Each structure stands twice: as structure tokens, then as C-alpha cells.
């Protein structure tokens, strides 16, 4: 392998920049040429790439977002789009690619790599959703959870001052990972997740029990993908059933994706970027580098995708319920 490319794709995640930095510098240290692709797979199709050097990634460890930009690219799902990308890659003499992203990114990488196996592909799990098999943590999850915690702590202050009940929606279309961790960290009275149905009657009962136990505020964290009908609908159904003075709704939205990466995500990004380039040099392809039990582990992209559903830790859910009585 002599020339590699790096791209970020799908939803951005804090920690992508430290990872890009690690990829670029590890490649150059090993005498490889390295090219940055702008806007994910779209940049491959549009030939939007540039040569990177050690200074291209100076002072980016602390930056949120991604200096390479990102996109959710529909044309890459078509045969023509993939072919166009392949032709551009070949014309540049690139023989390996590091793709940083989530399940959509890996699905594209795997399809591409099966069709054009002469280009080695290495995935790095970069998504705030923490929902890829083969890595206990994905890039951005720690920072996003801390951002959510900071916001909910502030909401708790005002909820408590007014004796209010808040429904707070956090990100996670298919994953309750942020909701569960933030719920435990903020002492949420209830946590609603896509992986587990919650009966509205049970929710009302537990909120009533909280009032009976002299709680002056309550917080219900609802993951975006929860199937109860959305935060506003939930608030309406609970209104009048629980004698709080008032019920309020907050959707945290995209603020959860921004911000300077935490120490954890900077180190994770550095380790995974370093490992991804070393894996390409070792001749590996169609794999994802991850962290399990604090060790780097390679998982096939196939496995990372097919096993990818976030496994809800029932013990954490149960603990959270007990600790918030």
C-alpha cells in the first residue's frame, strides 16, 4: 500500500478530527501518501480531494465537527455513483481508504469494497449513537452524552424551582444509548428507549409515586426513536394525570452533535486512526477497528453491521429505576 485516502461520512461526531489527524500522521510516518476527501462519499464522486501533510492537521484535536466535512450521500448507493468514485480513486493512485462514520457509512463501504476489492477499506466507528457491534464505544458518544448531561442539569434547576415535569428528547433514531447514560447521570425519573416499549400507564404510575414521595420535579428522557409517539404527544397524554403545576417539553436537537471532543474521544479518535492505518499496512480490508476491553480489535464490516443493534443493558435500566425512586 502506498497511498491512502481518508473521509468522514454521515452525521458528524466529536472526535472525528483527532482521528483524521492520527490517520494523516500515522500514514506519513510510515511513508505513505495521504489524501483527504471532502464531504464523504460525495467527494469521491466529485473528485473533491486534496493532498494532506503533517501540517494539514495541526491544531484540530480540540475542534468539533470534521475538517473534511461530511454528507449523507444518496448517489453513492447507485452503481453509477460507485463506478465514478472508483474511477476517481484509481486515477489518483489510491489503494486504501479509511472511512469514519456510522452504519450508513459502513454499508456503503462494504458494498463498494465487494464490488472493487482492489481498494482496501478500513472503517472507524464515528457516531454519537454508540450502536456499532465491535466497539464498546464509538467516537463522539462520550462528548455527546456529556453535552446532554450539562443541558439536563440546567433543566433540572428550573424544573425544581417551578415544581415542573419535563419531557426531554435526546438523539438516537434507533439507539437508546445516549438516553440511558444521560438518564442515569441526571437521575431521570423515567427513560424511554427505542429498544424497549414503555406502557404509558406505568409511566404515569411511576410519576405519581414520585410525587407521593415528595419529589418536587421530574424528568423523563425520551430517545428520538422511542415508539410512544413523540415527546409532545407523550406530554399531552400525561397532562392532567399527574398533578404537577405544569408540564414542559424540550428537544435538545443538534446541539448534541457539536462541541470540543472530550479527553475520552480525543484519545479514542487517536487510537482508532492510528490502528486503522496500521491495519491497512498489514494488508487488512473490509474491517472496522474498534475498542473492546481497552484493546484494539478488528471486526469485519459485515459483522459490525449485522450485529449492530445496541444491546440494551437491562441491568442499567433496572438500576436507574431503583436509584430514582
Inter-CA distances, 161 with 157, 191, 211, 225, Å = 6, 22, 15, 30
- Range 149-168, binding ligand F6P (CB under 6 A): none
Contacts 24+ apart (CB under 8 A), 151-156: 151/252, 151/255, 152/182, 152/186, 152/188, 152/219, 152/221, 153/186, 155/219, 155/250, 156/186, 156/187, 156/217, 156/219
**11 counts as binding ligand F6P under rule CB under 6 A:** yes
Find the binder of ligand F6P among 101, 172, 273, 290 (CB under 6 A).
Answer: 172
Active site residue 129: yes
* Residue tagged active-site, from 46, 95, 118, 129: 129
Q: Is 257 in the site for ligand F6P (CB under 6 A)?
A: yes
Residue in 145, 106, 153, 143 with CA at minimum distance from that of residue 289: 106
42: three-class secondary structure by DSSP = helix
The residue among 172 and 290 lying less far from ligand F6P, judged by its C-beta, is 172
Binding mask 39-68 for ligand F6P (x = CB under 6 A): ------------------------------
Q: Which of 102, 210, 261, 269 binds ligand F6P (CB under 6 A)?
A: 102
Which H or E element spans position 298?
Answer: strand 295-300
Q: Rounded to an integer, what distance in angstroms lies between the CA atom of residue 38 and that of residue 36?
A: 6
252 or 279: CB nearest ligand F6P: 252
**By rule CB under 6 A, what string of x and - marks binding of each residue 185-214 to ligand F6P?**
------------------------------
Catalytic residues: 129
Task: Give contact residues for ligand F6P (rule: CB under 6 A).
Answer: 11, 72, 102, 127-129, 171-173, 224, 257
Amino acid at each position: 500500500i502506498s497511498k491512502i485516502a481518508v473521509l468522514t461520512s454521515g452525521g458528524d461526531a466529536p472526535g472525528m478530527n483527532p482521528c483524521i489527524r492520527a490517520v494523516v500522521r500515522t500514514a506519513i510516518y510510515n511513508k505513505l501518501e495521504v489524501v483527504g476527501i471532502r464531504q464523504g462519499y460525495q467527494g469521491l464522486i466529485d473528485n473533491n480531494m486534496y493532498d494532506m501533510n503533517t501540517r494539514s492537521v495541526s491544531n484540530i484535536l480540540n475542534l468539533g465537527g470534521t475538517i473534511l466535512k461530511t454528507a449523507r450521500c444518496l448517489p453513492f448507493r447507485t452503481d453509477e455513483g460507485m463506478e465514478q468514485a472508483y474511477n476517481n480513486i484509481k486515477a489518483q493512485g489510491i489503494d486504501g481508504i479509511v472511512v469514519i462514520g456510522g452504519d450508513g457509512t459502513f454499508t456503503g463501504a462494504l458494498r463498494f469494497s465487494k464490488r472493487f476489492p482492489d481498494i482496501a477499506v478500513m472503517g472507524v466507528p464515528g457516531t454519537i449513537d454508540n450502536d456499532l457491534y465491535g466497539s464498546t464505544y464509538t467516537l463522539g458518544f462520550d462528548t455527546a452524552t456529556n453535552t446532554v448531561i450539562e443541558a439536563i442539569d440546567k433543566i433540572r434547576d428550573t424544573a425544581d424551582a417551578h415544581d415542573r415535569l419535563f419531557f426531554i428528547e435526546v438523539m438516537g433514531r434507533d439507539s437508546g444509548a445516549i438516553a440511558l447514560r444521560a438518564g442515569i447521570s441526571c437521575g431521570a425519573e423515567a427513560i424511554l428507549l427505542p429498544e424497549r416499549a414503555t406502557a404509558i400507564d406505568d409511566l404515569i404510575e411511576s410519576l405519581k409515586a414520585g410525587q407521593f414521595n415528595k419529589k418536587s420535579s421530574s424528568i423523563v428522557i425520551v430517545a428520538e426513536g422511542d415508539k410512544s409517539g413523540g415527546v409532545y404527544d407523550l406530554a399531552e397524554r400525561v397532562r392532567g394525570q399527574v398533578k404537577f403545576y405544569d408540564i414542559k417539553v424540550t428537544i435538545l436537537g443538534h446541539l448534541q452533535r457539536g462541541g470540543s471532543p472530550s479527553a475520552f474521544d480525543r484519545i479514542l479518535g487517536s487510537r482508532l486512526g492510528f490502528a486503522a492505518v496500521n491495519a491497512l499496512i498489514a494488508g487488512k480490508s473490509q474491517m472496522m477497528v474498534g475498542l473492546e476491553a481497552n484493546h484494539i480489535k478488528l471486526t469485519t464490516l459485515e459483522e459490525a453491521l449485522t450485529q449492530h443493534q445496541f444491546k440494551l443493558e437491562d441491568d442499567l435500566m433496572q438500576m436507574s429505576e431503583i436509584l430514582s425512586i
